[in-house]
Amino acid sequence: MNYDLSPVKRKDGQRAGAATDDSSDMAKPAAARKPSAASTVALTLVLALASAVLLFLLLRFSPSSPSPNPHPHRRLRLRPRAHAHHHQIPFDPVVADIERRLEDREWERLAAAGLHAPGMEAAPVPEDLTDGEVDADEDYINDAARFNVTLRVEALFPKIDVDPADGAVTGAELAAWNLANARREVLHRTARELELHDRDHDGRVAYGEYERPSWAWRFDDHNSTDDGVGWWKEEHFSAADMDGDGFLNLTEFNDFLHPADTTNPKLIHWLCKEEVRERDKDNDGKLNFQEFFNGLFYSIRHYDDEGLTDDTGGSDAPAKKSFSHLDLDNDGLLSADELKPVIGNLHPSEYFYAKQQADYVISQADTNKDGQLSMNEMIENPYVFYNALFTEDDYGFHDELR
Protein backbone atom coordinates (compact mmCIF):
# COMPACT_ATOMS: atom_id res chain seq x y z
CA MET A 1 0.00 0.00 0.00
CA ASN A 2 1.40 3.33 -0.96
CA TYR A 3 1.13 6.17 1.59
CA ASP A 4 1.39 9.92 0.81
CA LEU A 5 4.02 11.18 3.28
CA SER A 6 3.95 14.83 2.17
CA PRO A 7 2.98 17.40 4.85
CA VAL A 8 -0.68 18.05 5.25
CA LYS A 9 -1.66 21.35 3.75
CA ARG A 10 -3.85 23.80 5.66
CA LYS A 11 -6.54 25.68 3.97
CA ASP A 12 -4.38 28.82 3.99
CA GLY A 13 -1.70 27.01 2.01
CA GLN A 14 0.85 26.69 4.80
CA ARG A 15 2.20 23.31 5.53
CA ALA A 16 1.45 21.94 8.95
CA GLY A 17 4.48 21.87 11.21
CA ALA A 18 6.49 24.32 9.08
CA ALA A 19 8.63 26.80 11.00
CA THR A 20 7.18 30.31 11.31
CA ASP A 21 9.09 32.83 9.17
CA ASP A 22 9.93 36.54 9.88
CA SER A 23 6.74 37.71 8.32
CA SER A 24 4.83 36.09 11.14
CA ASP A 25 6.74 38.25 13.67
CA MET A 26 5.77 41.37 11.83
CA ALA A 27 2.20 40.27 12.10
CA LYS A 28 2.38 40.17 15.91
CA PRO A 29 1.01 43.12 17.93
CA ALA A 30 3.55 45.90 18.84
CA ALA A 31 3.16 45.21 22.57
CA ALA A 32 4.36 41.69 22.01
CA ARG A 33 7.64 42.82 20.44
CA LYS A 34 10.69 43.36 22.72
CA PRO A 35 12.35 46.82 22.23
CA SER A 36 16.05 46.99 21.49
CA ALA A 37 18.58 48.27 24.11
CA ALA A 38 19.48 51.32 22.00
CA SER A 39 15.90 52.51 21.75
CA THR A 40 15.44 52.10 25.52
CA VAL A 41 18.48 54.29 26.28
CA ALA A 42 17.36 56.95 23.83
CA LEU A 43 13.88 57.08 25.32
CA THR A 44 15.31 57.38 28.84
CA LEU A 45 17.53 60.27 27.81
CA VAL A 46 14.65 62.12 26.17
CA LEU A 47 12.45 61.74 29.24
CA ALA A 48 15.25 62.88 31.56
CA LEU A 49 15.94 65.93 29.42
CA ALA A 50 12.27 66.85 29.29
CA SER A 51 11.99 66.54 33.07
CA ALA A 52 15.03 68.75 33.57
CA VAL A 53 13.63 71.44 31.28
CA LEU A 54 10.27 71.33 33.02
CA LEU A 55 11.90 71.61 36.45
CA PHE A 56 13.97 74.59 35.30
CA LEU A 57 10.90 76.39 33.97
CA LEU A 58 9.01 75.77 37.20
CA LEU A 59 11.86 77.13 39.32
CA ARG A 60 12.45 80.07 36.99
CA PHE A 61 8.92 81.36 36.65
CA SER A 62 7.07 80.18 39.74
CA PRO A 63 6.49 82.76 42.55
CA SER A 64 8.83 81.00 44.91
CA SER A 65 10.20 82.47 48.11
CA PRO A 66 13.48 84.41 47.86
CA SER A 67 16.70 82.71 48.70
CA PRO A 68 17.38 82.85 52.44
CA ASN A 69 20.71 84.49 51.71
CA PRO A 70 20.83 85.91 48.18
CA HIS A 71 24.09 87.71 48.94
CA PRO A 72 26.16 85.24 50.99
CA HIS A 73 28.98 87.70 51.66
CA ARG A 74 26.76 90.57 52.78
CA ARG A 75 24.98 91.00 56.07
CA LEU A 76 22.94 93.91 57.34
CA ARG A 77 24.05 95.09 60.73
CA LEU A 78 22.01 96.71 63.47
CA ARG A 79 23.39 98.70 66.32
CA PRO A 80 21.68 100.90 68.88
CA ARG A 81 21.83 104.36 67.36
CA ALA A 82 23.78 105.62 70.36
CA HIS A 83 26.66 103.40 69.25
CA ALA A 84 26.33 104.01 65.54
CA HIS A 85 28.09 106.78 63.70
CA HIS A 86 26.17 109.91 64.66
CA HIS A 87 25.61 111.02 61.10
CA GLN A 88 24.84 107.65 59.54
CA ILE A 89 21.20 108.18 58.61
CA PRO A 90 18.94 105.11 58.40
CA PHE A 91 17.52 104.59 54.92
CA ASP A 92 14.60 102.31 55.76
CA PRO A 93 12.04 103.44 58.38
CA VAL A 94 11.47 99.80 59.35
CA VAL A 95 15.14 99.35 60.22
CA ALA A 96 15.13 102.73 61.97
CA ASP A 97 12.19 101.63 64.14
CA ILE A 98 14.03 98.46 65.14
CA GLU A 99 17.12 100.46 66.06
CA ARG A 100 15.08 102.95 68.06
CA ARG A 101 13.48 100.14 70.03
CA LEU A 102 16.92 98.74 70.79
CA GLU A 103 18.13 102.13 71.92
CA ASP A 104 15.02 102.69 74.02
CA ARG A 105 15.44 99.35 75.77
CA GLU A 106 19.05 100.20 76.48
CA TRP A 107 18.00 103.58 77.81
CA GLU A 108 15.40 102.00 80.08
CA ARG A 109 17.91 99.50 81.43
CA LEU A 110 20.33 102.27 82.24
CA ALA A 111 17.59 104.24 83.96
CA ALA A 112 16.54 101.19 85.98
CA ALA A 113 20.15 100.64 86.98
CA GLY A 114 20.47 104.25 88.08
CA LEU A 115 22.93 105.04 85.31
CA HIS A 116 20.57 107.52 83.69
CA ALA A 117 19.33 110.46 85.66
CA PRO A 118 19.23 114.21 85.09
CA GLY A 119 22.72 115.23 84.12
CA MET A 120 23.57 111.78 82.76
CA GLU A 121 22.41 112.08 79.14
CA ALA A 122 24.63 111.03 76.29
CA ALA A 123 27.20 109.50 78.61
CA PRO A 124 29.19 106.60 77.14
CA VAL A 125 27.64 103.18 77.82
CA PRO A 126 28.98 99.64 77.46
CA GLU A 127 28.77 98.17 73.96
CA ASP A 128 27.53 94.75 75.08
CA LEU A 129 24.33 95.80 76.85
CA THR A 130 22.12 94.79 73.94
CA ASP A 131 24.27 92.31 72.02
CA GLY A 132 21.74 89.47 72.34
CA GLU A 133 18.84 91.61 71.19
CA VAL A 134 20.89 93.05 68.35
CA ASP A 135 21.75 89.54 67.14
CA ALA A 136 18.08 88.51 67.13
CA ASP A 137 16.99 91.60 65.21
CA GLU A 138 19.88 91.26 62.78
CA ASP A 139 18.77 87.70 62.07
CA TYR A 140 15.32 89.08 61.25
CA ILE A 141 16.49 91.69 58.72
CA ASN A 142 18.86 89.17 57.12
CA ASP A 143 16.09 86.59 56.63
CA ALA A 144 14.83 87.19 53.09
CA ALA A 145 11.61 85.33 53.83
CA ARG A 146 10.70 87.90 56.49
CA PHE A 147 12.59 91.01 55.37
CA ASN A 148 13.33 91.08 51.66
CA VAL A 149 15.61 93.96 50.77
CA THR A 150 14.55 94.02 47.12
CA LEU A 151 10.87 94.27 48.03
CA ARG A 152 11.67 97.00 50.56
CA VAL A 153 13.48 99.05 47.90
CA GLU A 154 10.52 98.61 45.55
CA ALA A 155 8.14 99.82 48.26
CA LEU A 156 10.27 102.82 49.24
CA PHE A 157 11.14 104.03 45.74
CA PRO A 158 7.83 105.85 45.05
CA LYS A 159 8.03 107.49 48.48
CA ILE A 160 11.41 108.98 47.60
CA ASP A 161 10.68 109.82 43.96
CA VAL A 162 8.19 112.62 44.60
CA ASP A 163 9.56 115.89 43.20
CA PRO A 164 8.55 115.08 40.52
CA ALA A 165 7.45 111.44 40.45
CA ASP A 166 9.20 110.68 37.16
CA GLY A 167 10.74 107.27 37.75
CA ALA A 168 14.14 108.62 38.78
CA VAL A 169 15.46 109.56 42.22
CA THR A 170 17.62 112.67 42.16
CA GLY A 171 20.21 113.73 44.70
CA ALA A 172 17.83 116.37 46.02
CA GLU A 173 15.02 113.83 46.49
CA LEU A 174 17.29 111.37 48.27
CA ALA A 175 18.73 114.14 50.47
CA ALA A 176 15.20 115.20 51.43
CA TRP A 177 14.36 111.58 52.29
CA ASN A 178 17.50 111.27 54.40
CA LEU A 179 16.79 114.56 56.14
CA ALA A 180 13.25 113.52 57.08
CA ASN A 181 14.58 110.25 58.53
CA ALA A 182 17.34 112.05 60.40
CA ARG A 183 14.93 114.55 61.92
CA ARG A 184 12.70 111.75 63.17
CA GLU A 185 15.73 110.18 64.85
CA VAL A 186 16.79 113.44 66.47
CA LEU A 187 13.31 114.37 67.65
CA HIS A 188 12.82 110.91 69.16
CA ARG A 189 15.97 111.31 71.26
CA THR A 190 14.97 114.84 72.21
CA ALA A 191 11.59 113.63 73.47
CA ARG A 192 13.34 111.04 75.59
CA GLU A 193 15.73 113.68 76.95
CA LEU A 194 12.82 115.98 77.75
CA GLU A 195 11.07 113.20 79.65
CA LEU A 196 14.25 112.65 81.62
CA HIS A 197 14.56 116.29 82.69
CA ASP A 198 10.89 117.22 82.97
CA ARG A 199 10.57 116.62 86.70
CA ASP A 200 7.06 118.00 87.05
CA HIS A 201 5.87 116.18 83.91
CA ASP A 202 4.27 119.21 82.28
CA GLY A 203 5.79 118.52 78.86
CA ARG A 204 8.37 121.31 79.06
CA VAL A 205 11.68 122.00 80.75
CA ALA A 206 12.52 124.94 82.98
CA TYR A 207 16.13 126.06 83.35
CA GLY A 208 16.14 124.81 86.92
CA GLU A 209 15.12 121.35 85.73
CA TYR A 210 17.96 121.03 83.28
CA GLU A 211 21.33 119.95 84.57
CA ARG A 212 24.51 119.77 82.57
CA PRO A 213 25.83 116.28 81.77
CA SER A 214 27.83 114.82 84.64
CA TRP A 215 30.67 114.06 82.25
CA ALA A 216 30.94 117.74 81.21
CA TRP A 217 33.65 118.35 83.81
CA ARG A 218 36.09 117.40 81.06
CA PHE A 219 35.23 120.66 79.33
CA ASP A 220 35.07 122.92 82.37
CA ASP A 221 38.10 124.91 81.20
CA HIS A 222 36.07 126.19 78.28
CA ASN A 223 32.58 125.69 79.66
CA SER A 224 31.62 123.90 76.48
CA THR A 225 31.44 120.54 74.79
CA ASP A 226 33.95 119.14 72.35
CA ASP A 227 31.99 120.95 69.63
CA GLY A 228 32.63 124.25 71.37
CA VAL A 229 29.00 124.63 72.38
CA GLY A 230 28.09 125.46 75.96
CA TRP A 231 25.63 122.94 77.38
CA TRP A 232 24.43 124.53 80.53
CA LYS A 233 24.75 128.30 80.31
CA GLU A 234 21.60 130.25 81.04
CA GLU A 235 22.25 132.39 77.98
CA HIS A 236 22.05 129.26 75.85
CA PHE A 237 18.77 128.26 77.47
CA SER A 238 17.28 131.74 77.03
CA ALA A 239 18.31 131.86 73.38
CA ALA A 240 16.49 128.59 72.75
CA ASP A 241 13.35 129.91 74.49
CA MET A 242 11.85 131.38 71.33
CA ASP A 243 8.54 132.48 72.86
CA GLY A 244 10.20 133.83 76.00
CA ASP A 245 7.96 132.03 78.48
CA GLY A 246 10.85 130.72 80.57
CA PHE A 247 10.32 127.11 79.47
CA LEU A 248 11.44 124.97 76.58
CA ASN A 249 8.79 122.92 74.80
CA LEU A 250 9.78 119.95 72.64
CA THR A 251 10.69 122.08 69.59
CA GLU A 252 12.65 124.59 71.65
CA PHE A 253 14.39 121.87 73.62
CA ASN A 254 15.33 120.19 70.35
CA ASP A 255 16.90 123.47 69.21
CA PHE A 256 18.65 123.75 72.57
CA LEU A 257 20.25 120.32 72.14
CA HIS A 258 20.88 120.69 68.40
CA PRO A 259 21.48 124.39 67.67
CA ALA A 260 23.10 123.64 64.30
CA ASP A 261 19.65 122.80 62.90
CA THR A 262 17.70 125.69 64.35
CA THR A 263 15.96 128.47 62.46
CA ASN A 264 15.64 130.51 65.65
CA PRO A 265 17.53 133.80 65.05
CA LYS A 266 18.31 134.20 68.77
CA LEU A 267 19.92 130.79 68.94
CA ILE A 268 21.89 131.32 65.73
CA HIS A 269 23.21 134.58 67.16
CA TRP A 270 24.16 132.81 70.39
CA LEU A 271 25.99 130.13 68.42
CA CYS A 272 27.99 132.78 66.56
CA LYS A 273 28.81 134.52 69.84
CA GLU A 274 30.12 131.23 71.21
CA GLU A 275 32.49 130.94 68.25
CA VAL A 276 33.80 134.43 68.92
CA ARG A 277 34.12 133.77 72.65
CA GLU A 278 36.14 130.60 72.05
CA ARG A 279 38.76 132.55 70.05
CA ASP A 280 38.61 136.08 71.41
CA LYS A 281 42.00 136.31 73.11
CA ASP A 282 41.81 140.03 73.89
CA ASN A 283 38.20 139.81 75.14
CA ASP A 284 36.89 142.66 73.02
CA GLY A 285 33.90 140.67 71.80
CA LYS A 286 35.17 140.44 68.22
CA LEU A 287 37.84 138.64 66.23
CA ASN A 288 40.77 140.45 64.70
CA PHE A 289 42.58 138.91 61.76
CA GLN A 290 45.14 137.07 63.88
CA GLU A 291 42.44 135.54 66.08
CA PHE A 292 40.53 134.54 62.95
CA PHE A 293 43.61 133.13 61.24
CA ASN A 294 44.85 131.12 64.22
CA GLY A 295 41.53 129.92 65.54
CA LEU A 296 38.87 129.90 62.83
CA PHE A 297 40.21 129.99 59.29
CA TYR A 298 41.38 126.40 59.20
CA SER A 299 37.95 125.26 60.37
CA ILE A 300 36.10 126.87 57.46
CA ARG A 301 38.65 126.90 54.63
CA HIS A 302 37.60 123.57 53.12
CA TYR A 303 34.08 124.93 52.65
CA ASP A 304 35.23 128.21 51.15
CA ASP A 305 33.62 129.13 47.83
CA GLU A 306 37.00 130.00 46.37
CA GLY A 307 38.06 126.34 46.47
CA LEU A 308 41.07 126.75 48.71
CA THR A 309 43.51 123.86 49.00
CA ASP A 310 45.65 122.66 51.88
CA ASP A 311 48.81 123.89 50.21
CA THR A 312 49.04 127.64 50.73
CA GLY A 313 52.81 127.74 50.88
CA GLY A 314 52.68 129.35 54.31
CA SER A 315 50.94 132.41 52.88
CA ASP A 316 48.13 134.10 54.78
CA ALA A 317 46.66 135.58 51.59
CA PRO A 318 43.75 133.09 51.40
CA ALA A 319 42.89 133.82 55.03
CA LYS A 320 42.98 137.57 54.41
CA LYS A 321 40.68 137.14 51.43
CA SER A 322 38.22 135.10 53.50
CA PHE A 323 38.42 137.59 56.37
CA SER A 324 37.70 140.46 53.98
CA HIS A 325 34.61 138.69 52.61
CA LEU A 326 33.22 138.26 56.11
CA ASP A 327 34.11 141.75 57.39
CA LEU A 328 31.04 143.46 55.98
CA ASP A 329 31.55 146.81 57.76
CA ASN A 330 35.28 146.86 56.93
CA ASP A 331 36.30 147.70 60.47
CA GLY A 332 39.03 145.06 60.56
CA LEU A 333 37.11 142.96 63.07
CA LEU A 334 34.57 140.17 62.82
CA SER A 335 31.45 140.43 64.97
CA ALA A 336 29.23 137.50 65.88
CA ASP A 337 26.68 138.45 63.22
CA GLU A 338 29.40 138.57 60.57
CA LEU A 339 30.13 134.89 61.23
CA LYS A 340 26.62 133.85 60.23
CA PRO A 341 27.60 133.01 56.61
CA VAL A 342 30.06 130.37 57.84
CA ILE A 343 28.34 129.11 60.99
CA GLY A 344 26.94 126.20 58.99
CA ASN A 345 30.51 125.19 58.10
CA LEU A 346 31.54 125.25 61.75
CA HIS A 347 28.42 123.38 62.87
CA PRO A 348 27.12 121.28 59.94
CA SER A 349 23.38 120.73 60.05
CA GLU A 350 21.54 117.47 59.50
CA TYR A 351 20.95 118.58 55.91
CA PHE A 352 24.69 118.67 55.32
CA TYR A 353 25.00 115.02 56.32
CA ALA A 354 21.79 114.06 54.51
CA LYS A 355 23.14 115.48 51.26
CA GLN A 356 26.58 113.98 51.85
CA GLN A 357 25.05 110.54 52.29
CA ALA A 358 22.79 110.99 49.26
CA ASP A 359 25.72 112.00 47.06
CA TYR A 360 27.72 109.02 48.26
CA VAL A 361 25.08 106.36 47.62
CA ILE A 362 24.25 107.81 44.20
CA SER A 363 27.93 107.64 43.27
CA GLN A 364 27.91 103.96 44.27
CA ALA A 365 24.60 102.85 42.72
CA ASP A 366 24.36 105.05 39.61
CA THR A 367 25.56 102.45 37.12
CA ASN A 368 24.76 104.47 33.99
CA LYS A 369 26.29 107.64 35.48
CA ASP A 370 23.36 109.93 34.70
CA GLY A 371 23.41 111.50 38.15
CA GLN A 372 20.18 109.91 39.35
CA LEU A 373 18.83 106.50 40.30
CA SER A 374 16.27 104.32 38.58
CA MET A 375 14.40 101.65 40.50
CA ASN A 376 16.47 98.97 38.79
CA GLU A 377 19.71 100.62 39.90
CA MET A 378 18.48 100.74 43.48
CA ILE A 379 17.31 97.11 43.35
CA GLU A 380 20.64 95.99 41.89
CA ASN A 381 22.59 97.82 44.61
CA PRO A 382 20.42 97.54 47.75
CA TYR A 383 23.26 97.16 50.20
CA VAL A 384 24.59 100.60 49.33
CA PHE A 385 21.47 101.99 51.00
CA TYR A 386 21.32 99.52 53.87
CA ASN A 387 24.96 99.99 54.92
CA ALA A 388 25.86 96.33 54.56
CA LEU A 389 28.84 94.79 56.23
CA PHE A 390 30.95 92.61 53.98
CA THR A 391 33.01 89.57 54.88
CA GLU A 392 36.66 89.24 53.95
CA ASP A 393 35.61 87.57 50.70
CA ASP A 394 34.48 90.96 49.37
CA TYR A 395 37.94 92.38 49.00
CA GLY A 396 37.06 95.62 47.31
CA PHE A 397 34.42 96.90 49.73
CA HIS A 398 34.98 100.30 51.31
CA ASP A 399 32.18 102.16 53.06
CA GLU A 400 33.20 105.70 53.88
CA LEU A 401 30.13 106.28 55.99
CA ARG A 402 31.11 103.81 58.70
Residue 104 — pLDDT band, cuts 50, 70, 90? confident
Contacts of 88 (CB under 8 A, 6+ apart): 357, 387, 401, 402
User: Cα(382)–Cα(139) distance, rounded to whole angstroms?
Assistant: 17
User: Cα(150)–Cα(397) distance, rounded to whole angstroms?
Assistant: 20
Greatest alpha-carbon pair distance for the chain in Å reads 164
Average pLDDT, stretch 92-96? Answer: 88
The string of pLDDT tens digits covering residues 24-80 is: 444 445 444 555 666 776 777 777 777 777 777 666 655 444 444 445 446 666 655
Range of weakest confidence among 10-14, 129-133, 288-292: 10-14
Contact 356, 349 (CB under 8 A): no
Contact 207, 225 (CB under 8 A): no
Strand partners, 390: 74
Residue 301 — pLDDT band, cuts 50, 70, 90? confident
**Quick one: pLDDT at residue 179?**
96
Cα torsion for 122, 90, 363, 345, to the nearest 10°? Answer: -30
pLDDT more than 90, % of the chain: 43
Q: What are phi and psi of 15, to 5 degrees?
A: -70, 140
Q: Which of 269, 250, 248, 249 is nearest to 259 (CA)?
A: 269
Residue 18 — pLDDT band, cuts 50, 70, 90? very low
Residue 134 — pLDDT band, cuts 50, 70, 90? low
Range of weakest confidence among 89-93, 100-104, 128-132, 349-353: 128-132
How many CA within 13 A on the CB side of residue 214? 9
Range of weakest confidence among 62-66, 109-113, 167-171, 239-243: 62-66
Q: Which of 103, 89, 97 is nearest to 180 (CA)?
A: 89
Range of weakest confidence among 3-12, 91-100, 366-375: 3-12
Average pLDDT, stretch 157-169? Answer: 96
pTM comes to: 0.67
Cβ neighbourhood burial of 112 (10 Å; 0-12, 13-18, 19+)? exposed
Average pLDDT, stretch 230-256? Answer: 89
User: Cα(194)–Cα(118) distance, rounded to whole angstroms?
Assistant: 10
288: pLDDT strictly greater than 80: yes
User: Cα(264)–Cα(256) distance, rounded to whole angstroms?
Assistant: 10
User: Cα(152)–Cα(149) distance, rounded to whole angstroms?
Assistant: 5
The string of pLDDT tens digits covering residues 141-153 is: 667 777 788 899 9
Average pLDDT, rounded, for the chain: 75
